[in-house]
Chain A
Amino acid sequence: MPRQFSSMVKVELLKVFTRGSGIGTLVVSALVAAFVTLLTWKVSGWQDGMSFNGQPVRGLFAFDVVTVGAWVLYARSLVVIPFLLLLATASAVAGEHADRTLRELAVRPVPRWSILAAKSVALAVLSACSVAITFTVAISLGWVLLGPPAIDQAIAEGDQSLARLALGYAASFFSDLALVAIGMALSVFVRSVGGVVVSIILLLIADRVLWAILALAGFLGVEVARDLVQWTLVAAMGCWKGWDGEFLPSQFAIVGLLTALAWGVAGLRFGRVDVP
């Protein structure tokens, strides 16, 4: 690692947090959390006065801060924030390749891979901030509007359910790292922001097709297909879903492996590519 690596990370943070895609990621993280929380609060209000089979609906469904946090976690992990994070990654590498600012870094006395490493750390910090903002807004606003965790939610876990939710958020950060690594690898090959976005869409479509084929094969009794289905990209990156049940170590291992593989490919390729 070059001795100036911490300075490199510092200036990459400056770039990531002042670029439109970075600011957008943080703003949308807060907005998604606020919107879903307000929506949940509104929906919870609709229960008042409603009944089902003569029983009041209120109480059948728990609308508390943990529920809100979970819904926000699902919303965060859908399209918008991963897409913005991918855009931030593509802007940091493919974007700088295209506008030739990457050249100004490549003429400095540092190994090429360390440039990607500095950018990765900065993007990981962006992701961590996005996760933290989403969690903080959801929990604080949810607590104010809906109160503390409901009693029935807390039968077994009590506060632990909130702690498990926090683990779910931490796991979604882990998924983000894989996304950053994949975005970085694509950026090194494709070298334009639009190209990276199109590539990731094609990759996700291919991944879903593969998932469907394996799921069908598993349904038809092919045992190996049932094992392989967890190796598909989207399935593996859903490792955070284990927060309300069981975290699967195999999913985390697959995400870690994918991340390492994508970083390795990006580093090797970037070391040999001509910089315009």
Chain B
Amino acid sequence: MAGLCRRYGGRAAVHGLDLRVERGDLYGFLGPNGAGKTTAIRAILGLIQRDSGQVEVFGERHPVRQREEIGALVETPTFSEWLSGRNNLRIAAAYAGRGSEADIDEALERVGLRERAGERVGGYSLGMKQRLGIARALLGKPRLLVLDEPTNGLDPRGMKEVRDLLKELVRRDRLTVFVSSHLLAEVEAMCNRVGILDRGQLKAEGSVAELVKRLGGATHVEVGVATTDRPRALGVFEKLGGVEAMGEGEDGRMLLSLRGLEPAALNRALVEGGIDVGALVPRAGTLEELFLSVTSSEPGVA
């Protein structure tokens, strides 16, 4: 996607958005509420007109032919509620021009709904509808899955099942998955690459580890010292410089952010200051820290 722009009235929902998802990626699309994630997804799927910009899917620029490769789930999936789950999938298969009864059975089996496929969708729970929406996106074996908040309404077990399913689709079926979510831990656990959108613009893109390293510029460590030694330890940090206490880590250890300072030098300074160091654990930056550092706190447009 290159230079995507879409304005609503006088305000830009997405502005000059460039995004690149590689084949085989499980790409996490993150952003605060109103950052423009859904607008971008709708533009990819051709649901909204673009003011400018290009979308290319596996080298194809024609919007109808692009959609032959895409399975999609946008926001809360909607269905013809008076029809059965199976009939809803038949509708999707008919419009997709692919997806036999065996494919429908396979998609239902994958999301655990085969037994209840004959029931009216109106009687389904939110989680069942969400799973049926995923089954619909999987119909006809698309090469790219575009999923907007696919774990909405699912319980923790259901969320894990979806995560596992998406990983399996990438690993076993060689699918490319583009998934938007507001659940940072979920994206961190599942995606190999992420893009962070804020106020309609991409603020960061790459692997989580790479981004934390590139954007954070700091090393995080957890230091275990006795509670009574903490005031003295803070004095040592102040003398050293480049050390910022960020709160508490695991098991009550102090969580520190180091800038221009190696963990070994910190350890040496503490020992020389007469403080016993029970543990010194390097800790990678989190996606949450990265997210908060690159996004603004004010809401956007869409």
Contact = CB atoms under 8 A, between A and B. Distances in A.
A104 B97 contact: no
A4 B90 CA distance: 13
Interface in A71-125: 99-101, 103-111, 115
Nearest to A276: B47
A11 B95 contact: yes
A162 interface: no
Contact of B45 (A99, A107, A115): A107
B78 A107 contact: no
A175 B150 CA distance: 46
A79 to B, nearest CB: 26
Nearest to B78: A100
Contact of A101 (B47, B72, B78): B78
A272 B139 CA distance: 27
A115 B94 CA distance: 11
B65 A274 contact: no
A51 interface: no
B48 to A, nearest CB: 4
Nearest to B79: A101
Interface string B90-105: 1111111100000000
B95 A8 contact: yes
Nearest to B66: A109
A107 B46 contact: yes
Nearest to A102: B78
B136 interface: yes
A3 B97 contact: yes
A107 B82 contact: no
B87 interface: yes
Interface stretch (A14-22, A52-60, A237-245): A14-22
B74 A107 contact: yes
Nearest to A3: B97
A160 interface: no
A272 B47 CA distance: 9
B96 A109 contact: yes
A27 interface: no
B110 interface: no
Contacts of B95: 4, 7-8, 11, 105, 108, 110, 115
Given A3-B97, A15-B91, 14 more contacts: A7-B95, A10-B94, A18-B83, A103-B74, A103-B78, A106-B45, A106-B47, A108-B96, A109-B67, A109-B68, A272-B49, A274-B42, A275-B47, A276-B47
